[in-house]
Amino acid sequence: MLVMLSSPHAHGGDSVRMMMLTVVLALMPAAAVSVYLFGWLAVLLILVCMFSCLATEAVCLKLMGKSLTTLLDNSAALTGLLLALTLPALVPWWMAVVGSVFAIVLGKQVYGGLGYNIFNPALSARVILLISFPLQMTTWLTPMSAAVPPVNLYDLSTCLTLFFAGPDALKLGLDAITMASPLGHVKTEWTQGVPVAQALSNYHYSYLNAFLGLETGSIGETSVLALLLGGIFLLARHSITWHIPFSYLTTVGVLAALFSSIDPNHFASPMFHLFAGGLMLCAFFMATDPVSSPVTPVGQIVFGIGCGVLTWSIRSFGGYPEGAMFSVLLMNCAVPLIDHYFRPHVYGYDSRVDDDV
């Protein structure tokens, strides 16, 4: 008995596996930079996060009675890699595991698995970690690109001790090995009345360093160049469309340009905003997560604009130095509404045509 199959009887060969794998490949430049900056620590963080995500998903699938072949769709591995890249280098091993568990369980499986989550899983985990452990999540290790790196992160045993036992085991004080991130520094200085330009100069901030990724921050978000390369790769492979990154980045740039020209003491320049913090990573890899972003092209532009407005506003007016992850999660809430109201113009409903036809 032939099962009733409808046309089309041909398929283009696309698969979820390949799409996720493409994103993992696109993150390789950023991962490479993270290893350059933070040595074995970055490697350990990435491996532990990826493994924890896969293990958690396996447990969840088993509990839900689903087949373990679902693991092969690479989505858990991608979540692990993305989560690792958003974490500060000094995050202890257990926090990485907890974050991974949150990302998979509360970020994805609880909604019904891949395709049903409202929020970006990696970002929701990062926000949970930030709110639960604010100190560790805002402590930035001085990278190996610094003039005098305080810890040799290319030494595996040092990193193992740091990762599993913490800096106390190495008899290192946090002040000695950490520094402020550019965004954090500018915000702290501003609360003390120091204008932006001065704050940047006493930080010895260099736009070139920020572009190449030699400043500190979360292990994967520092290098604009690496992330741009990854983003262009994604666009070329048609994994993402230009709408979200373009509208997100343009909105931030325009707002920053507008306000910094009005009050340059309070508001940083567009280039600073675009290079700083997790904006590049969010614009190309987080906001573009297909499941939690709109499906329609105009909807995607609206989404990107919303993310841009929120990111810039939180950075300029909010209490947190970095607003990218919050803004993406906030816009995720609005996605079903955006999808409903910003549907494309359907063929045959051109309002210009006379109705008495």
Return d(Cα 53, Cα 60) in angstroms, integer.
Answer: 10
The yes or no reply on residue 339 touching other proteins (CB under 8 A) is yes
The yes or no reply on residue 347 touching other proteins (CB under 8 A) is yes
- Determine contact, residues 200/186, Cβ cutoff 8 Å: yes
The yes or no reply on residue 65 touching other proteins (CB under 8 A) is no
CB of 76 to other proteins, least distance (A): 14
The yes or no reply on residue 337 touching other proteins (CB under 8 A) is no
Encoded amino acid at 287, one letter: A
- Determine contact, residues 245/288, Cβ cutoff 8 Å: yes
CB of 276 to other proteins, least distance (A): 30
87: nearest Cα among 51, 43, 138: 138
The yes or no reply on residue 298 touching other proteins (CB under 8 A) is yes
For 165, residues 6+ apart whose C-beta sits below 8 A from its C-beta are: none
Total residues interacting with other proteins, rule: CB under 8 A? 43
Instruction: Pick the stretch among 53-61, 135-143, 216-224, 349-357 that binds other proteins (CB under 8 A).
Output: 349-357
The yes or no reply on residue 73 touching other proteins (CB under 8 A) is yes
Put residue 119 in one of left, alpha, beta given phi > 0 → left and psi -120 to 50 → alpha: beta
CB of 191 to other proteins, least distance (A): 40
The yes or no reply on residue 7 touching other proteins (CB under 8 A) is yes
CB of 300 to other proteins, least distance (A): 8
Rounded to the nearest angstrom, the gap between the alpha carbon of residue 239 and the centroid of all alpha carbons in its chain is 16
Q: From the list 39, 107, 113, 213, which residue makes contact with other proteins (rule: CB under 8 A)?
A: 113
> Which secondary structure element, helix H or strand E, spans residue 141, and what is its range?
strand 140-141
The yes or no reply on residue 115 touching other proteins (CB under 8 A) is yes
Encoded amino acid at 233, one letter: F
The yes or no reply on residue 191 touching other proteins (CB under 8 A) is no
The yes or no reply on residue 296 touching other proteins (CB under 8 A) is yes
Q: From the list 64, 68, 110, 116, which residue makes contact with other proteins (rule: CB under 8 A)?
A: 116
For residue 171, the tally of other CB atoms under 10 A from its CB is 6
The yes or no reply on residue 264 touching other proteins (CB under 8 A) is no
Return d(Cα 83, Cα 151) in angstroms, integer.
Answer: 24
CB of 122 to other proteins, least distance (A): 15
- Determine contact, residues 276/205, Cβ cutoff 8 Å: no
DSSP string of 58-77, one letter each residue: HHHHHHTT--GGGGGGSHHH
The yes or no reply on residue 241 touching other proteins (CB under 8 A) is yes
The site for other proteins (CB under 8 A) is made up of 2-12, 14-16, 18-19, 73, 112-116, 238, 241, 290-291, 293, 295-298, 300, 339, 343-350, 353, 357
